[in-house]
Chains A and B, each alone.
Chain A
């Protein structure tokens, strides 16, 4: 499938059998409508946001295995000599799309991806796929990504008065204030 015609197209990568199409954040809704109407991606399976704060700061190693064992000659498979590729912005939001056709054999999938920084918002796609409603609320709640044009953007999993966004990398484990303590 040719994704170069998708509005706001930035890049397409094919890795491990999965296609990732990155588009300009501002034109996400146009791109979504195009993928739904022209390419048949009528089913939004999931919206997954990821925080890349601190990515690329420590060196890591990669292990590449295959059926016959370990490929020790591949660069980066030894020691702690490698840094992952840097990311353009802090947050990525991935939309996992499927083309559902009753009785079909084969499920075409694509990952539509946009990038944003702290304080930037992402256009909401609730008008394109109604199921995005809760997925976007979850990304807002846990990752702090604002979706512009969402009809009901409020916290979904955490309490309404919760401070901070737990899945961010700068949100510490065990760092929440203890309620009902003696001082309170």
Chain B
């Protein structure tokens, strides 16, 4: 396998640490088990630091983790099965509930898949607005990760600061879409509504203030001995192991792999904005934290460029076969009424085919595989959930660590259990 590590860097560890024969299960050494000092502990399913409902069966030798197996599925709600029963039009509401922290990026992946099947290209204003809202979503998700991650390691005050900023982001979502979460603002063909007056001023206020806030958070943590002690050199993952385990997003970039789908296969307006992809090389909890802090700054830069470069014009394609006609036309035009009725009851039909669309969510590669038979409902929808894949790395990253570090490591993988179990 070709090496992925940048040349001239010291390897994080030699060889591979992925457990064998089962890559996701760390098994206790039989000789150690003979001694009889192994204690089996259930971590979760209900534990504040599991970010949802995750159960880890941990086998301890004193304070050392010798065996670990992740048990998931407690939040499985059958989103993919449900989406097969809804028209394309209605199914858009499901993906955002899968990953409730970066909901707009999830919505985007599904909408892009529909558009790829339809062959529709949204107008530039919609593309730029999608870029802007995706980045706000990323900031929203990283803020919750930072707040809860620091809380788990004892830095309680940071949670309140992060939630203050998060609330500002939610206010912006509310301003533009009418709801704070699960916005359903993207739809095939563009946006659901025009961008309301006043959004740009409010958003710019936020974008001006936010980078300073990130500096404050970093100052609170980066100059604190406890935080450094508890994050540096912990939860190691080499670049080769990260790729073999399918890791993506901040976890992969903290292991020294310069890989961001926004750069390598630009979608939306990412090829027209200037941003930097933060890469760190130690593959530990601290570097994953650094990647996310830098990403919040870069996301703010993208938001600012979107505000500057936002084109004028329509927010959605003018095609009555896939987009609802304007409300006022329903009172005067029979044809518009028919279109409205057909779209709401039956929905639009999507040509037969299969597509896989990948976007860079806050957690890494979010894939959406969609099969259509040409009908008005999806035949099959499958999400490549980054949290699901991230948890596969638990066994590799916690091998030989202390039980107290388990929480720091698990937090650094940034999993959302709704996303994991779908």
A contact residues vs B (CB 8 Å cutoff):
15-16, 18, 20, 36-37, 40, 42-46, 48-51, 55-56, 58, 60-67, 69-70, 76, 82, 84-85, 94, 96, 98, 100-107, 109, 111, 126, 129-131, 133-134, 138, 142, 151-152, 155-159, 166-167, 171, 173
Q: Are A102 and B239 in contact (CB under 8 A)?
A: yes
Cα distance, A37 to B119, chains bound together (Å):
34
Rounded to whole Å, the gap between the CB of B249 and the closest CB of chain A is 12
Query: What residues of B have a CB within 8 angstroms of the CB of A109 in the complex?
Result: 356, 358
Q: Are A37 and B384 in contact (CB under 8 A)?
A: no
Q: A36-B1, A100-B4 are in contact. Are A131 and B244 (CB under 8 A)?
A: yes
Cα distance, A131 to B246, chains bound together (Å):
6
Main secondary structure of the interface of B (DSSP, over half): loop
List 5 interface pairs A-B (beta carbons < 8 Å), by A numbering.
A16-B355, A48-B369, A48-B382, A63-B349, A134-B391
Query: What residues of A have a CB within 8 angstroms of the CB of B389 in the complex?
Result: 131, 134
Query: What residues of A have a CB within 8 angstroms of the CB of B42 in the complex?
Result: none
Cα distance, A183 to B371, chains bound together (Å):
41
Q: Are B348 and A130 in contact (CB under 8 A)?
A: no
Q: Are B392 and A43 in contact (CB under 8 A)?
A: no
The size of the chain B interface, using a CB distance under 8 A, is 71
Cα distance, A157 to B263, chains bound together (Å):
33
Q: Are B259 and A102 in contact (CB under 8 A)?
A: yes
Partner pick for A65 among B6, B73, B119, B421, CB 8 A cutoff:
B119
Q: Are B355 and A96 in contact (CB under 8 A)?
A: no
Determine whether B28 belongs to the interface, using a CB cutoff of 8 Å to chain A.
no
Q: Are A45 and B365 in contact (CB under 8 A)?
A: yes
Interface string of B1-20 (1 = CB under 8 A from A): 11011100000000000100
Cα distance, A45 to B18, chains bound together (Å):
18
Interface window among B75-83, B159-167, B403-411: B75-83
B contact residues vs A (CB 8 Å cutoff):
1-2, 4-6, 18, 21-25, 72-73, 76, 78, 80-82, 85, 116-121, 239, 243-246, 248, 256-259, 261, 263-265, 317-319, 321-322, 348-356, 358, 365, 367, 369, 371, 373-375, 379-380, 382, 384, 388-389, 391-392, 421-422
Main secondary structure of the interface of A (DSSP, over half): loop
Cα distance, A109 to B4, chains bound together (Å):
17
Partner pick for A62 among B239, B256, B374, B380, CB 8 A cutoff:
B374
Q: Are A131 and B23 in contact (CB under 8 A)?
A: yes
Cα distance, A106 to B76, chains bound together (Å):
34
Q: Are B367 and A61 in contact (CB under 8 A)?
A: no
Nearest-CB residue, chain B, relative to A131: B246
Cα distance, A167 to B381, chains bound together (Å):
10
Q: Are B353 and A15 in contact (CB under 8 A)?
A: yes
Nearest-CB residue, chain A, relative to B188: A65
Nearest-CB residue, chain A, relative to B253: A102
Cα distance, A151 to B352, chains bound together (Å):
36
Cα distance, A55 to B317, chains bound together (Å):
31
Query: What residues of A have a CB within 8 angstroms of the CB of B78 in the complex?
Result: 166
Q: Are A70 and B244 in contact (CB under 8 A)?
A: no
Q: Are A96 and B349 in contact (CB under 8 A)?
A: no
Query: What residues of B have a CB within 8 angstroms of the CB of A15 in the complex?
Result: 353-354
Q: Are B25 and A152 in contact (CB under 8 A)?
A: yes
Nearest-CB residue, chain B, relative to A137: B24
Cα distance, A48 to B84, chains bound together (Å):
15
Q: Are A157 and B264 in contact (CB under 8 A)?
A: no
Q: Are A106 and B369 in contact (CB under 8 A)?
A: no
Q: Are B245 and A130 in contact (CB under 8 A)?
A: yes
Q: Are B380 and A18 in contact (CB under 8 A)?
A: no
Query: What residues of A have a CB within 8 angstroms of the CB of B392 in the complex?
Result: 130-131, 133-134
